[in-house]
Amino acid sequence: MKLGNLIIPSRIALAPMTRAFSPSGVPDKNVAAYYRRRAENGVGLIITEGTAINHPSAVSHPDIPRFYGEDALSGWKQVVEQVHEAGGMIIPQIWHVGGARKIGDAPNEKSLPVSPSGLDLSGTKVTEPLTEEEIKQLIAAYAQAAADAKRVGFDGIELHGAHGYLIDQFLWEKTNKRTDQYGGDLVGRTTFAQEVVKACREAVGPEFLIVFRYSQWKLGDYGAKLAYNSEELTQLLLPISEAGVDVFHASTRRFWEPEFAEESDSLNLAGWTKKITGKPTITVGSLGLDHAFRDENGAANETSVAENIEKLVTKLQQDEFDLVAVGRALLADPEWATKLKNGELEHATPYSPESTKTLY
């Protein structure tokens, strides 16, 4: 699969999954081995777990990897070398959790959470809104991370604009009550995302891959929406796309569900995104599971992996999206993609909390 100037060796990506296995924020040989094992077993594009930009309240755990400081970047360089040696491509997910962070969280307990309007994900005021100067500093930190990713040897970056984290907090009306250029209507609320993408593009040049991950759902609010129909989704996506995004990663909990059923009974969020922007897209959501997430009403979603793969292949053949990210199935079994290719999924280690204790 061609993404930008890259040839991805398979249409399977490793979904980014926070593991907090980097001591003091520095990825070590175990992290490199974790990613290498998946690359050498058929995963074409590795998207790393979220990595902290250079800001004191970027993340909420001391062992979430940093993407600043020569110790951490040296560790990431070893990860990149291992993945490339195994034949895979790798991009870091660049992350700031914003108002999802709690006061007193490590690693910097004295640093307060930051968010567009000083609100947490419930809409409760916690701190003061970001100033324009603070916003500029955050944008610069994203751009520096992008430049460092290129310097270290990564194949691109993914900007985490999903799940109620910082970029998403600017996009979402519940957490963005600003009245300046960073707030207002749906298009106005894309301004921060646009400026982050533009700054990263300026930092890395025209040929370095930029993936933008976004979602409708938020942590603790799975019914949340940025866009209630395709017209609103167009207003949301086009400004961000035109800022310099190459690929969109549309995060959903069940990839087979239509996003706007009243407009199309087939297109999921990635499908609508590709139709609107014309850009390649990555879909995600319970592909490798027999038991998917419960829905908003608490109902279980029982489906077989074989059924999921059949649905996926049909959607790929219809050019609805281009890659699929797999999370928990690959967390449980690093050889999952190889077993899929060889028709041996019955031998795959199924996902369960017990199956992921070693995580290597």
Q: DSSP letter string over 130-168? A: PPHHHHHHHHHHHHHHHHHHHHHT-SEEEEEEEETSHHH
Nearest-angstrom CA–CA distance, 242 and 233: 14
The confidence score (pLDDT) of residue 289 equals 78
Q: Are 142 and 198 in contact (CB under 8 A)?
A: no
Question: In sequence order, which ranges of 205-294 are alpha helices (DSSP H)?
Answer: 230-242, 269-277
The stretch 211-220 carries a mean pLDDT of 96
**293 confidence band (pLDDT: 50, 70, 90):** low
Asked if pLDDT for residue 330 goes beyond 70, the answer is: yes
Residue partners of 145: CB distance under 8 A and separation at least 6: 51, 53, 54, 67, 68, 92, 94, 157
295 pLDDT tier (thresholds 50, 70, 90): low
pLDDT grade, residue 37 (50/70/90)? very high
DSSP string, 188-226: GGGHHHHHHHHHHHHHH-TTSEEEEEEEEEETTBTT--S
Q: What CATH class is the domain 2-356? A: alpha beta
Predicted TM-score of the model (pTM) = 0.96
pLDDT given for residue 355 in this prediction: 56
- In the predicted model, is pLDDT for residue 138 greater than 80? yes
Active site residue 360: no
With residues binned 3-state (H G I as helix, E B as strand, rest as coil), the percentages for the chain, rounded to 5, are 35, 15, 45
Angle formed at CA 90 by CA 89 and CA 96, multiple of 5 degrees: 160
Name the phi and psi angles at 12, rounded to 5: -100, 125
287 close to 315: Cβ distance less than 8 angstroms: no
By the 10 Å C-beta count (0-12 exposed, 13-18 middle, 19+ buried), 323 is classed as buried
Q: What is the mean pLDDT of residues 296-300?
A: 56
Q: What is the pLDDT of residue 290?
A: 72
pLDDT band at 291 (very low <50, low <70, confident <90, very high): low
Mean of pLDDT values over 193-202? 98
pLDDT above 90: percentage of residues in the chain: 89
Q: Does pLDDT of 252 surpass 90?
A: yes
Q: Which amino acid is at 349?
A: T
Residue 359 has pLDDT above 70, yes or no: no
Between these two residues, 306 and 215, which has the higher pLDDT value? 215
pLDDT of amino acid 304: 84
Better pLDDT: 5 or 273: 273
Higher pLDDT, 354 or 257: 257
Which of 34, 68, 142, 165 is the catalytic position? 165
Q: Decide: residue 15, CB within 10 A, 0-12 exposed, 13-18 middle, 19+ buried.
A: buried
Report the half-sphere exposure of 9 (CA within 13 A, side-chain side). 20
**Whether the Cβ atoms of residue 243 and residue 200 lie closer than 8 Å to each other:** no
Least confident of 44-48, 261-265, 297-301: 297-301
Asked if residue 241 has pLDDT above 60, the reply is yes
- The yes-or-no verdict on residue 204 having pLDDT over 60 is yes
**What's the pLDDT score for residue 303?**
74
Report the pLDDT averaged over residues 214-231.
96
Res. 100: pLDDT tops 80: yes
Find out whether 100 and 107 touch, Cβ atoms under 8 Å.
no
Place of tokens 């081995």: 33
Q: What is the pLDDT of residue 299?
A: 54
Q: What burial class does residue 230 get, using C-beta atoms within 10 Å of its C-beta: 0-12 exposed, 13-18 middle, 19+ buried?
A: middle
**Residue 80 above 60 pLDDT?**
yes
Q: Classify residue 284 by its DSSP letter.
A: E
SS3 (DSSP) at 251: strand
What's the DSSP call for residue 119? B
Helix (H, G, I), strand (E, B) or coil at 359: coil
pLDDT number for residue 245: 98
Least confident of 1-10, 155-164, 203-212: 1-10
As a whole number of angstroms, the distance between CA 280 and CA 248 comes to 7
Count CB neighbours of 243 within 10 A.
20
Give the residue with greater pLDDT, 354 vs 71: 71
Q: What confidence score (pLDDT) does residue 298 get?
A: 54
Per-residue pLDDT for 296 more than 90? Answer: no
Looking at every residue in the chain, the average pLDDT score rounds to: 94
Residue pair 336/348 in contact (Cβ under 8 Å)? The answer is yes
What pLDDT was estimated at residue 352?
A: 77
pLDDT at site 111: 97
Confidence band of 350 (pLDDT split at 50, 70, 90): confident
Say whether 66 sits in a helix, a strand or coil.
strand
Per-residue model confidence (pLDDT) at position 301: 61
Residues 161-187 have a mean pLDDT of: 98
